[in-house]
Chains A and B, each alone.
Chain A
């Protein structure tokens, strides 16, 4: 007998540009809504309706939760869906003579229409309520992450950042979901010894680590990653199981790389003539992905076969069954050596399911059904539930780690992005200076101090350093970093010299309007 704990981390950075009629990077959010968030919610609700007793942990990043409830973005998503529906209709017409492609075009048309129906009619444009309902039904545990996905190990010298990131995260989570988060997702599983002190201050009782964060603990972990460790202050650390991770994450050896599955990179946005796509492209000429993709992974090389949904469906059942059988077998092997049931922790980026791996949501649904039916050999649990059943665990200090390349901090600290930290640390010192100098303010000055804090947090998003390193849309990431540092610094200087330009300030406050209830007095020390 053993436990399986699935954890999905939902996150996107705050991208919202009312100053432009249409903004390319907002598509990150829209694509993820159509391909991941709405499909996952539909699955969770369907299983609930059918009485399947599953358990899953969802980490919803505060920036994403804020975007879910943002009316401006909701309306833009509806407009985006309308464009996609129109494009899919055109595709159905264009392929009408082609019996192989036409059913695929129809599939996409149907998906976009379904998405629109669900978003507008079922969720009333706001996914937060659906998440709240799932949590109340006791099937889902909602946890939070740092306010803006700050990679904490690189902010050790400015602990006020670590505190503010957690404080704002918890306040936002409570405000959005009406419940207190029991656990915490450290962005990128970025851990440094000592960060648990700030978690404890906020009553957050557990977090997740990459495998070696547990394995290389100060004291050898008695059961590897198959039981949590308590940090010396009794906050629990759960380590990622590498065996199951590999089978799901790997694009080569793992399930998502199977030749029959849908290919991620081929998209009609890149394949069809610009002239035809014109009405759907930004500025009428920038090729973008549309989400309409007709090809299967096939194999290496550019020659791709057309996607066959029936073949993919068969494969996904096979893969889900393989996963469950492998976990049961793993539990059996582990149980033989343990005095308690082993716990297999599988954390994933939610966007793996649907966005990267098109068939991923289906796979997840089958896994949840099968495991929920397998009462005897394996059962689904959440870290909170596991800890209440097995409160006695080994105490040891985990090791500095992340799930980025090579396991430490190098993705977020290298030649392309190291320049940001000088500025980010400096603005944290300045934010504290502001809070001390202006402990109690009203009116516009109070709003300016709160906006300074928002700008500080937005600049600290690890997404920007990540993008600089991985090379997609680098200028946007550089621009966002500089924009928030600039805004912060300008507010700081104006407050110090009492020269705030109202017109500019109101424009910035209206645009970067995340965390409306933020209060610098309770968040900055």
Chain B
């Protein structure tokens, strides 16, 4: 994000960017523009610095491959030249594992269902139902445990914190009407990875020194990644 780019967008878009950064400047006028641009730019720089610090060595080296200019792009034709669908008119939920604690889900509702739900939103609560299905053949009602995440009709994706590592989960997109739950779509099964060693040893005399020799003490790990993964976006995208 550069100053030139910020100067080229509308005041509304600028306000929108500030909002995404967590600041409300609704009602800004052209007179505020310069200050607002400065403010948004400063925030982006801060965010960039933070992101930079997050990057490990492999990522930094890889990043250098794409560093040929300080400006973002020299090319005039933007992404607008390529309109793509926002939704696909189908009722479906997909679950993707991200790390030992977080998974990402995206979903879609077909147009009929969407219309119906929009009509009676007061009585219905859309939910994501997360089932722990470790070591079971899931039938829809036999999960080891489950929890619900209420969502709004306009939501399309969510990051979900999962309590157990090395564990299988299935997600359902469902609707609760007067305490009755109905499943609208069921996801694929995912399995969260480990964030540590297995207790299964190949032999009784396992030499634990290899854990250290293999550099386990320098493993960055995900211990500190409780922060919500839905970070502020660098560019308005759709």
Contact = CB atoms under 8 A, between A and B. Distances in A.
B147 interface: no
B84 interface: yes
Contact of A416 (B63, B77, B203, B231): B231
Given A222-B203, A421-B106, A476-B73, A157 B193 contact: no
Contacts of A220: 197-202, 206
B219 A349 contact: no
A406 B229 CA distance: 13
User: Residue among A154, A212, A489 with the most chain B CB within 10 A?
Assistant: A212
B62 A282 contact: no
23 contacts: A12-B65, A28-B68, A153-B97, A188-B58, A193-B191, A215-B211, A246-B57, A403-B56, A406-B225, A409-B96, A410-B222, A415-B230, A419-B237, A421-B94, A421-B104, A472-B63, A473-B73, A475-B235, A479-B75, A479-B78, A479-B81, A485-B82, A487-B82
B30 interface: no
Given A216-B195, A221-B210, A485 B84 contact: yes
Interface in A233-276: 239, 241-243, 245-246, 249-251, 254, 264, 270
A470 interface: yes
Contact of B71 (A221, A286, A471): A286
B209 interface: yes
Interface stretch (A18-26, A123-131, A516-524): A18-26
A482 B98 contact: no
B73 A471 contact: no
B64 A355 contact: yes
A246 B71 CA distance: 31
Interface string A472-510: 111110110011011101000000000000000000000
Nearest to B210: A224
Interface of B: 48, 51, 54-75, 77-79, 81-85, 88, 94-100, 102, 104, 106, 108, 156-157, 188, 190-191, 193-203, 206-207, 209-211, 213-216, 218-222, 225, 229-235, 237-238
Contacts of B65: 12, 28, 32, 349, 351, 355
A434 interface: no
A378 interface: no
B139 to A, nearest CB: 21
Interface residues of A, number: 102
Contact of B197 (A157, A215, A355, A413): A215
A25 B57 contact: no
Contact of A24 (B63, B69, B193, B210): B69
A215 B214 contact: yes
B72 A475 contact: yes
Interface string A2-33: 00000000001000000010011101100110
Given A282-B74, A287-B70, A218 B58 contact: no
Nearest to A406: B222
Contacts of B61: 249, 349, 351-352, 356
Contact of B84 (A217, A404, A474, A489): A489
A333 B213 contact: yes
A32 B64 CA distance: 10
A325 interface: no
Contacts of B88: 422, 426
Interface stretch (A65-73, A85-93, A315-323, A393-401): A393-401
Contacts of A377: none
A411 interface: yes
Given A283-B74, A394-B202, A409-B97, 16 more contacts: A156-B96, A218-B200, A226-B213, A239-B214, A246-B218, A288-B74, A351-B64, A356-B64, A405-B56, A407-B99, A410-B98, A410-B99, A421-B96, A422-B106, A470-B51, A485-B84
